[in-house]
Amino acid sequence: MSSGRYSGFRLLREAMAGHQGWRRAWHPAEAKPHYRIAIIGGGGHGLASAYHLAKTYGIRDIAVLEQGAIGQGNLGRNTTIVRSNYFTAPNIRFYDAALQGWERFEQELNFNAMVSQRGTLNLIHTEGQRDLFARRANAMALEGVDAEYVDPAGVKALVPLVELTNARYPVLGGFLQRRGGTVRHDAVGWAYARAASDLGVDIVEHTGVIGITPGHPITLSTTAGPVTAERVLLAVAGHSSTLAAMAGFRLPIETYALQAFVTESVKPVLDLVVTYGGGHFYASQSDKGGIVFGGATDGHNSYAQRGSWPQVEETMTAGLTLMPALSRLKVLRQWAGVMDMSMDGSPIVSDTPVPHLYLSTGWCYGGFKAIPAGGLVAAHLVATGTPHPLAEHFRLGRFRAGAQIDERGAGPYPWAH
Amino acid sequence: MLRIPCPHCGVADEAEFRYRGDASVTRPPADAGVDAFHDYVFLRDNPAGWHLEWWQHAHGCRATFQVKRHTVSHVIAWSGWPGEAPP
């Protein structure tokens, strides 16, 4: 049963009727024995892929198999930031398609995801960093994507909390993308699950995959019994290697824990998303008033969905160096998700050594922002068997071909991130 | 906080160490070909379980050594010098 269209009029009507008329946003499905397409993983990318397969490619016989509940994996653990300020041209095109997807998201999916284009500001602390950001801004401008340089006075006007005269890392300026911002992350999952369910996709929660038998069809052993499917998409983030091992191959992926934190609620003090260039720290203020912030990964292989203490200290130290006033706030919660860190820091949306088995992985700690485009390109790949033009550079074979993506200048080792 | 047993200095906090990745991979012979080097450089077992890995005691003796650690529970079962194998 559909949940019906959401609107201001509907809200008013339900309010008059005591809010008794709301129905489940998506139909809770049981796994059937056979599907045309099975998607393993009900996170942002899995759900967006299901939605695009049904909406854009007209395939309705789809199951999304989710081990837990929708929104309780990395989709509900990220820091909700969206932006498209990348450097290489193919990545700028891909991530800006995602950002344009966010701009259309609420109208297209009829769901209030609190898309807020408040701007993302990357701070600059050294001359070299300024040159790099200028180069990145120019690369973006060549692709028609907005980016601008902000001088220190401009930074202070945008974010009064920032300490400009830090002795070690004085703020020399900022790199601003005004179209960047935040999106309420769990609403994204609910919106895609609702839209996909309305199109006939089975959203099967609390059903984990414990075995994959290649063949045609591919047989999945699940906690609810065997499920066969003509084509299978793996969209399981940090657990990609585990699922790939079930199917008999290895990936250029290591799994790392990434932490995030939120403070008590305060009055609005931070209008946009700010990242620190002197250390690894980024922050924004949620609509509830909490400062949501995070830093680097824990730095070693980990499937533990909790953080390590040295990284807590590292993140807090960086944050207080940049915005000393934050020291007055209490941290309410700290959590971690497990990330699929690829060997060149860019995603893998690709076919695999197993026929009819496809991958959407390697999103590292930047998967959330990519969801609208990631779902589209993964759906295109699964529906047609060929890469989407926006994602040809994300193929798995790039590592063997020596065509890794030199996006961040980081070394090709996850432990260097 | 991991408490890492350095074979030279003894147990110390994780903050003194630097992680150096998977210790189970071995470099193939120079003439092994592209596929062997691709597997060596890029592919990892990445287990949710026991993992053999390199750590360097960067703020101690600076030695690099092996640790066998569980990637879910973070229990450390063994540490040893390069060339040694866990029991």
A279-315 pLDDT per residue, tens: 889 999 999 999 999 999 999 999 998 889 999 999 9
Report the residue of B46, B51, B72 to disrupt the A interface, i.e. the one with the largest count of A CBs within 10 Å: B46
Is the pLDDT at B61 greater than 80? The verdict is: yes
Structure tokens at A271: 């209008």
Give the total number of structural domains in chain A: 2
Q: Name chain B contacts of A239, Cβ cutoff 8 Å.
A: 48
- Asked if A252 lies within 8 A of B44 by C-beta distance, the reply is yes
Examine the predicted complex and report whether its ipTM is higher than 0.85: yes
Neighbours of A239 (CB within 10 A): 23
Q: Are residues A165 and A262 in the same domain?
A: yes
Q: Which residue from B minimizes the CA distance to A254?
A: B46
Is the pLDDT at A415 greater than 90? The verdict is: no
A66-86 average pLDDT score: 95
Q: Are residues A328 and A314 in the same domain?
A: yes
Q: Which residue from B minimizes the CA distance to A244?
A: B45
Report the residue of A209, A300, A404 to disrupt the B interface, i.e. the one with the largest count of B CBs within 10 Å: A300
- Asked if A301 lies within 8 A of B46 by C-beta distance, the reply is yes
Q: Are residues A173 and A259 in the same domain?
A: yes
Q: Which of A239, A400, A415 sits opposite B38 (nearest CB)?
A: A400
Q: How far apart are CA A119 and CA A110, in angstroms?
A: 24
Task: Find the domain containing A266 and state its range.
Answer: 116-181+254-342
What is the model's pLDDT at position A278? 85
Q: How far apart are CA A79 and CA A366, in angstroms?
A: 10
Q: Which of B1, B21, B73 sits opposite A308 (nearest CB)?
A: B1
- Asked if B44 lies within 8 A of A253 by C-beta distance, the reply is yes
- Indicate the pTM of the whole model: 0.95
Q: Are residues A203 and A337 in the same domain?
A: no
- Asked if A299 lies within 8 A of B19 by C-beta distance, the reply is yes
Position B63 in a domain:
yes
Question: Could you tell me how far CA A101 lies from the centroid of its own chain?
Answer: 13
Q: Which residue blocks in A323-395 are alpha helix, DSSP H?
A: 371-384
B53 to chain A, any CB pair closer than 8 A? The answer is yes
Q: Which of B1, B15, B42 sits opposite A399 (nearest CB)?
A: B42
Position A34 in a domain:
yes
Neighbours of B86 (CB within 10 A): 12
**What average pLDDT does the structure give for chain A?**
94
Is the separation of the CB atoms in A28 and A203 below 8 Å? yes
Residue-wise pLDDT tens digits, B12-42: 999 999 999 999 999 999 999 999 999 999 9
Is the pLDDT at A148 greater than 90? The verdict is: yes
Coarse DSSP helix, strand, coil percentages of chain A, rounded to the nearest 5 percent: 35, 25, 40
Q: How far apart are CA A386 and CA A401, in angstroms?
A: 18
Q: Which residue from A minimizes the CA distance to B34?
A: A400
- Asked if A242 lies within 8 A of B41 by C-beta distance, the reply is no
B70 to chain A, any CB pair closer than 8 A? The answer is no
Q: Are residues A195 and A245 in the same domain?
A: yes
Q: Are residues A271 and A333 in the same domain?
A: yes
Task: Find the domain containing B54 and state its range.
Answer: 3-80
Q: Which residue from B minimizes the CA distance to A240?
A: B46
- Asked if B14 lies within 8 A of A251 by C-beta distance, the reply is no
- Asked if A399 lies within 8 A of B38 by C-beta distance, the reply is yes
Q: Name chain B contacts of A299, Cβ cutoff 8 Å.
A: 19
Question: What 8-state DSSP symbol labels residue A216?
Answer: S
Is the pLDDT at A81 greater than 50? The verdict is: yes
Position A222 in a domain:
yes
Give the total number of structural domains in chain B: 1
Structure tokens at A247: 């199917």
pLDDT confidence bin for A408, thresholds 50/70/90: low
Q: Residue B82 burial by CB count (10 A; 0-12/13-18/19+): exposed, middle or buried? A: exposed
Q: Name chain B contacts of A414, Cβ cutoff 8 Å.
A: 21
Q: Are residues A271 and A336 in the same domain?
A: yes
Distances (CA, A) of B18 to B7, B52, B81: 15, 15, 16
**What average pLDDT does the structure give for chain B?**
96
Considering Cα of B23, then B26, then B27, then B33, what sign does the dihedral take?
Answer: negative
A392-400 average pLDDT score: 96
Last residue of a domain, one of A290, A324, A342: A342
Residue A96 main-chain phi, psi, to 5 deg: -75, -30
